[in-house]
Amino acid sequence: MSIDIILFLGLAVVAILSAAGMLFSRNAIYSALFLIINFSAIAVYYLILGAPFIALTQITVYAGAIMVLFIFVIMLLGAEQTGRTPASWWMRPLGMGLGALLILESLYLIFTHLHSFPQPIEIIDGFGNPGQVGEILFDKYVLPFEIISLLLLVAMIGAIVLTKKKMKR
Amino acid sequence: MSAQVVTENVDLLEKFPQSVKQDDRAGYAGYIVSADHLLEVVRFIRDDMGFDYLASITGVDYLPNGLMEAVYHFYKTSGGPGLVIKTQVDREQAAIPSLVSLYPGADFQEREAWDLLGIRFDGHPDLRRILMWEGFAGHPLRKDWHEPYYEEEGKPYKSRWPEGKVYRREDKNPFHKNVDYPAGFDPDKWVPDDDSTLYASVNKISSAGGESGIKTDYVIVNMGPQHPSTHGVFRMVVALEGETIRALKPVMGYLHRNHEKIGERNTFLQNMPFTDRLDYLSSMSNNFGYALAVEKLMGIKPPERAEYLRVIMAEFTRISNHLFAIGSLLNDMGAYFTPMLYAIEERELILDIFEATAGSRIMCNYFRFGGVARDLPEGVEEKMRDLAFKRLPRKIDELDLYLTNNEIVKARGEGVGVLTPEQAIAYSASGPVLRASGVPYDIRRADPYSIYDRFDFDVAVRYHGDVYDRYLIRVDEMRQSVRIIQQALNGLPKGPIQEGKPQYLVRVPAGEAYGRVEAPKGELGFYVVSNGKANPWRYHVRAPSFVNITALETMAKGNKVADTVAILGSIDIVLGELDR
Amino acid sequence: MIMDWALLTEWTIKSLVLIFGLIGGFAYLTLFERKVLARFQVRIGPNRAGPHGILQPIADAIKLIFKEELIPAKADKIIFIVAPIITVIPALIILAVVPFGPDIRLFGRTITLYISDLNVAVLYIMSVTSISVYGIVLAGWSSNNKYATLGGIRSTAQMISYELALGLGFVGPILLSGSLSLVGIVDAQKNVWFFLYQPVGAFIFWVANLAEVNRAPFDMPEAEQELTAGYHTEYSGMKFALFFMAEYIKMIAVSAIAVTLFFGGYRGPLVDQFPVLGPLYFLIKVVAFLYLMVWVRATLPRIRYDRLMAFGWKLLFPISLGNVLLTAVGIGLVGITGNNLWLWFIPVSTILFFLLVSHFAQGAVAGGNK
């Protein structure tokens, strides 16, 4: 077994355990922390795949910015102390059903396409470095990029408008 | 000579012939108002006679007559002599209408009178103990309340030197054996008070809802008693919405030692060093107030040189206190000790002068009835001149230069903790707090004592009533103090420093007197009642820190946590005086 | 995989030197700060332990190690213990991408004076600084103490406000050098330090840095006068020392980064001839910046928390955005005209922009209460 595989498996364990921990821990702060570990594990995957730019962006944006806001909100609202919200009767069976469906689907895909996985593509020189990401983002995908930024702007303005309205009441 | 607060106003007797009568006891002044009509009479005093400033409320327990008397001192912020009224009730069922509705500044003083003397003030919104803890048995300033090591009413205790041998009472009667528990009290089963009444009063206010109309939870935070910025063991219970203060209740008494009870056991002169311990940053001013009160009772005046020395010392005290106040205010704003250390550099030199003259740097114990303890040693006058003419003006300019226009000092101070002039008067605020709110009321000018009428100085006033103005006013006042010191040094006469021979056991005729001085922190008043014996019958301190803190909640509401600390710093409290 | 043992040894030694250098630097930075503060405050400062107090940090360390460790009964134990560690690690690893000097030849090999020349080094710094806030937040939360929680909340809010200005401060040097690698950025400053092209950028970067490392006047999370000690109120002994350590190592780190981005890193006269001078220049520059930090602490009172947010969002953020825009315009002008003199358009225009914005934003930031 090469060192890459060992690394891969180890990370997989960390990622899955942290994801499970996020789901099952009662304390919202613990959930958030498990999610951060999960994000970091995935960032290391990007690193293994030779995309340091995306790896570090993942950490900065998700672990560094978004989760800080999450924790900020949890701490401000004191949400870590609230007990379990009572689930409706249909929630549990529905969740189980959907979960089972997802597992079946994945198993089907894995076993039917076992021999037809796409071959690893040749990594070109400078793959995933900031320059290349930038070029692709602002050249080939410039329209989606701009649309996304507009969407975010709209969301931001919406948030401001909503809070302002509440303040006036 | 009787108390100074004789008033020319006779219309009070004409207006209320049934409920007001002249206080005609020997050595007493003012009027006695019946408790039933107190509110009516006080409203007349405030609205029609113009006595808008309620300086002091206290009580006296006249045990032999079975009477409990509440004493009120009113003044006009436009200046002039004051008005004193009293209300006498049966000491077993002492209940008097509260004045909080007319003078919000009566709040803490009435609570203190309730706590220590057991006078119930009907209509007081929050009549809890203030200096003692909830659950304390009895009211310690009542004459029939005896402390654990009680021996006799007044010092010198005869038991301390039987056959010339000195020993302490505690040696004979060791600790634990002498403690009297109230009937039915078992210390092992005692559960400390959980402050439920205190938190209830905070919750009542904070549940009124936020400004934004959004229903939010409040966080109750105890700032203190162990907190770096409360200037000692002072505690503020604050209700926070985010970081905004919605309600604040000061809790005090952690340093309470019942100064006044000790004062009533002491002889008159023994109290002089005790006053040092009130506001331990400005002991000379404390001495001054007490000496004035007792001198009024005795009807003596100190000689010229002593008066000059008193003024010089009091003004140096004011400067040293304000230097310290500005330094610690800047510390509270988060400046890391640099302004503090710059400010107290000169304070050390002032303390050197105190040490050379009085023998001690902080606890000076310098004033005597009818004079001062010691004359200036050789060379001290030159040091004083050097300070007053060279170093202090330079230091004040330096502080002014570095701090006054600092962006952050301005941002932290301007518009923070505003007290309007009307509020300041109503809350009985005094000293820099009052004058920073635009009320030009300085006892040195409004009701001059000692020889302050001879000096040329301005009453510093600022008009915004915020933290920044309370900083500025201290700078202004230091400048004025320097002017007074300069004039006093130039006019310092030669001569004796003590009227008559210094005496250990002074004879004080029966009567009452209220001696008040413009201490650095505000109006410091001593209400002394003598029954002609060696010990004062009543010894009350109207402490400026204590009364000024009444307005703290008003100032702090709506501001941030960080501002509270700055506001408290700008009031400039000293716990020795606040808790007494 | 063939291991180059020599290379591995070199990396290990370099890492160890860096880590121990930082820890030692931390120890003596505390002494440096106390001495300098004392001088500012007309005092002498520590002078009892050893000549001129040089053994003071050792005495402090011994004291802190042997102090009793208290864990509050209602604290979240695991997080309470982990939080100081989470705080220290980012501080220690952040300098891995900073070059301390030019390549030197030793024992017949070329040794680079940096641990790694990442091609996304700037992003690496960003991500490490962004996760370093967790230690503080978790310490505040796990202590189960209201002061500590307030400190933790303050630090998150502060970090979100300042990370943006900090990130945009990086963009200037990146645009000028065309590289995300710190080695590349230092090489690009061979002739002119970026400080001269980016005065506003450097200033904003420095202010945001002060906020990032919670130094006065932005030391909200631990504001002594308000929150007793903020997030580390409940910490004692070695755990407290770790927070202390993290703060001071971060000071060194951000100073080193500022030097690298704007002040030519290890560059200085005669460095190319005598590579040993590189680390020396670097050290001098870093110490100068540390001195600046102490100076600011000795001089300024603390800004209020809400004002700080207003300052970050309403002043620093727009200015740094404008700075990026004008820098890009300047570089574009150079590209169009081919004349390098157009680079001087950047400082002139950014300073004008800075004055303009700060003039108009003053009311919004400073006079909020009036």
Q: From its phi and psi, is residue B522 left (phi > 0), alpha (psi between -120 and 50) or beta? A: left
- Alpha carbons B308 and B484: distance in angstroms, whole number: 10
Tokens representing B203? Answer: 């919750």
The predicted pLDDT at position C17 comes to 85
Q: Give me the residue spans of the domains in chain C.
A: 72-365
Among A74-78, B469-473, B564-568, C344-348, name the one with the lowest average pLDDT. Answer: A74-78
Contacts of C136 in chain A (CB under 8 A): none
Q: If phi over 0 gives left and psi between -120 and 50 gives alpha, with beta otherwise, what is residue C225? A: alpha
Find, among B367, B360, B361, B325, the residue nearest to B344 by Cα. B325
- Which residues are within 8 A (CB) of C81 and not within 5 positions of it... i.e. 6 or more apart? C71, C239
Asked if A56 is an interface residue toward chain C (Cβ–Cβ < 8 A), one would say yes
Contacts of B20 (CB under 8 A, 6+ apart): B12, B13, B31, B32, B33, B34, B37, B41, B85
Could you give phi then psi for residue B95, rounded to 5 degrees? -140, 130
Looking at chain B, the whole-number percentage of residues with pLDDT higher than 90 is 9
Cβ neighbours for A110, distance < 8 A, ≥ 6 positions apart: none
Q: Which residues contact B305 (CB under 8 A, 6 or more apart)?
A: B375, B492, B493, B494, B495, B496, B497
What residues pair up with B245 in beta bridges, in sequence order?
A: B240
Q: How far is C358 from chain B (nearest CA, A)?
A: 13
Please tell me if residue A165 touches chain B, with a CB cutoff of 8 Å: no
The answer to ipTM > 0.90 is no
Contact B212 A167 (CB under 8 A): yes
d(CA B289, CA B405): 36
Distance between CA atoms of residues B198 and B126, nearest Å: 9
Maximal C-alpha separation, chain A: 65
CA atoms within 13 A on the CB side of A68: 27
**How far apart are the C-alpha atoms of B234 and B249, rounded to whole Å?**
11
Q: How far apart are CA B435 and CA B426, in angstroms?
A: 13
- pLDDT at position B5 is 46
Length of chain A: 169
* pTM for this prediction: 0.82
Please give the C-alpha separations between residue A143 and each of A128, A149, A157, B332, C177, in angstroms, as whole numbers: 20, 10, 21, 54, 28
Is A84 an interface residue toward B (CB < 8 Å)? Answer: no
**Chain C CB within 8 Å of residue A33 CB:** yes
User: Cβ of B332 and C225 within 8 Å?
Assistant: yes
Q: Enumerate residues 297 to 326 of chain C having a beta carbon within 8 A of any beta carbon in chain A.
A: none
* β B95-97/B120-122 pair status: parallel
CB B471 within 8 A of CB B403: yes
Phi, psi of B566, rounded to the nearest 5 degrees: -65, -40
- Residue C37: list chain B partners with CB under 8 A: 336-338
Closest by Cβ to C370, choosing from B338, B407, B415: B415
Q: Residue A155 has what pLDDT?
A: 93
Q: Answer whether B104's CB lies under 8 Å from B427's CB.
A: yes
Q: pLDDT class for B210, splitting at 50, 70, 90?
A: very low
Q: How far is B218 from chain A (nearest CA, A)?
A: 11
Which of B219, B408, B561 is facing C301, going by the closest CB pair? B408
Distance from CA of A60 to the nearest CA of C (A): 4
Question: What is the rounded (10 degree) CA torsion for A96, A98, A101, A106?
Answer: -100
Provide φ and ψ at B481, rounded to 5°: -60, -40
Across B107-158, where does the E strand assignment appear? Answer: 120-122
Beta carbons of B563 and C300 less than 8 Å apart: no
- By DSSP bridging, strand B53-62 and strand B522-530 are unpaired
How far apart, in whole angstroms, are the C-alpha atoms of residue B296 and residue A15? 85
Residue A150 has pLDDT above 90, yes or no: yes
Residues of chain A positioned with their CB less than 8 A from the CB of C152: 75
Cβ-count burial B524-560 (b if 16+ within 10 Å, e if not): bbbbbbbeeebbbbbbbbbbbbbbbbbbbbbbbbebb
Lookup: tokens for B464 = 């915004």
Instruction: Determine, for residues A65 and C160 on separate chains, whether the beta-carbon distance falls below 8 Å.
Output: yes
pLDDT in tens, A25-51: 877 888 888 888 898 888 888 888 777
Structure confidence at residue B247 (pLDDT): 83
Say whether C228 and B565 touch across the interface (CB within 8 A): no
Q: How far apart are CA B365 and CA B360, in angstroms?
A: 8
Question: Which of B130-139, B321-330, B345-354 is the least confident region?
Answer: B130-139
Distance, CA of C281 to CA of C273 (rounded, Å): 14
DSSP tag of B402: I
Cβ distance B214 to A167 less than 8 Å, yes or no, reads: yes
pLDDT tens, residue by residue, C106-154: 766 777 777 777 777 888 888 888 888 888 888 888 888 888 888 888 8
pLDDT tens digits along B543-578: 998 999 988 888 888 888 888 888 888 888 888 888
Distance, in angstroms, between A26 CA and closest chain B CA? 23
Q: Domains in chain B, please, with CATH?
A: 11-122 (3.30.460.80), 196-251 (no CATH), 259-579 (1.10.645.10)
pLDDT digits (tens, 9 = 90+) for B274-284: 898 888 888 89
Q: In tens digits, what is the pLDDT along chain C, a chain of 370 residues?
A: 445 777 778 788 888 888 888 888 888 888 888 888 888 888 888 888 888 888 888 888 888 888 888 888 888 888 888 888 888 888 888 888 888 877 777 766 777 777 777 777 888 888 888 888 888 888 888 888 888 888 888 887 787 788 888 888 888 888 888 888 888 888 888 878 888 888 888 888 888 888 888 887 777 766 666 777 778 888 888 888 888 888 888 889 889 888 888 888 787 777 777 777 888 888 888 999 999 888 888 888 888 777 778 888 888 888 888 888 888 888 888 888 877 777 777 788 888 888 887 777 666 555 444 3
Query: What per-residue confidence (pLDDT) applies to C369?
Result: 42
User: What residues have CB less than 8 Å from B177, skipping those under 6 apart?
Assistant: none
Counted across chains A and B, CB pairs separated by less than 8 A come out at: 8
- The contacts of residue B459 (CB under 8 Å, 6+ apart) are B435, B440, B441, B442, B444, B445, B480
Residue B7 has pLDDT above 60, yes or no: no
Q: How far is B229 from chain A (nearest CA, A)?
A: 25
Label residue B334 left, alpha or beta by phi (over 0 means left) and psi (-120 to 50 means alpha). Answer: left
Distance CA(A113)–CA(C11), nearest Å, equals 44
Query: How does residue A125 score in pLDDT terms, banded at 50, 70 and 90?
Result: low
B338 contacts on C by Cβ (under 8 Å): 37, 40-41, 298-299
What pLDDT, on the 0 to 100 scale, is given for residue A85? 63
